[in-house]
Amino acid sequence: MSAPKPDAAAPEGKNSIQVIERMMKLLDVLAQHADPVPLKQLALETGLHPSTAHRILGAMTGTGFVERSEAGVYRLGIRLLELGSLVKSRISLRETAMPFMLKLHAATGESVNLGVRAGDEIVYVERTSSGRASVRVVHIVGARAPLHTTATGKLFLAEDGAERIRDYARRTGLPASTPASITTLPALEKELDRVRRHDVGFDLDEVEAGVRCIAAGIRDESGELIAGLSLSTPSDRFNPDWAPLVRETADEISRALGFSAPRTR
């Protein structure tokens, strides 16, 4: 079977879809080779002109999707590994967590949420509904909320060092979502000390008036905090005695993800 003929050098102004298609061709060929591949071979196997392949590989090298050695050969970059690990962990997290979330939901009758950190916000990636039509909570799948106002966000901030917490406060200005929201650095530091002592975070009408949450952290096999499990209720049904149950459920999910280090309370 003859190799495809290289195309002519791509003129300026080629549309972005064509560029993406060529990027994918190069990544596919690199994925087929265990060893680094020279430019000439990549051009031959993709059917791209060497100058076109070189230009696209240069862009992908700059973003970490491809690595180029001093010998001028190419291989897949570390950025792909990072993205792959992230996708794998999030799929695994949601699939692993759901049975435990349903168990907690059945025990309490309240909404159970799974949130992950995205910069200065928490993003809710999974949720069990309370099934009570009168309940309105902000923690719908895909919703975002600031770290300092959410029970789960406080867990992540508590993991940060003092300087990173101060940077967060300066960067965001600690905006209020409700009159109960924390808006000063001293108050936030005091709250995070409480989170560290009790290994749970609370949101007491701080994201939405009339809604309260309890959250506990979920850790992966390396011990890194990767998510928070939270129980959200209307304020008039809030029961702080559920905190140990939320924490135990989060620990069960952590163990299912491979975390085995002993936890101190």
pLDDT averages per 10-residue partition of the chain, 265 residues: 49 70 92 92 93 93 91 90 75 89 94 94 87 49 90 97 96 96 97 97 96 96 94 94 97 92 54
The H or E element that residue 40 is part of is helix 39-46
- Output the CA–CA distances (angstroms, integers) from residue 145 to 45, 73, 153, in the order listed: 47, 45, 8
Order of strands, sheet of 37-38, starting from the edge strand that comes earlier in the sequence: 37-38, 73-76, 66-68
> What does the pLDDT read at residue 138?
45
pTM, two decimal places: 0.67
> What does the pLDDT read at residue 10?
45
List the Cα angle 139/140/141 in 5-degree steps: 120
Number of alpha helices (DSSP H) and beta strands (DSSP E) in the chain: 8, 9
CA distance 192 to 57: 45
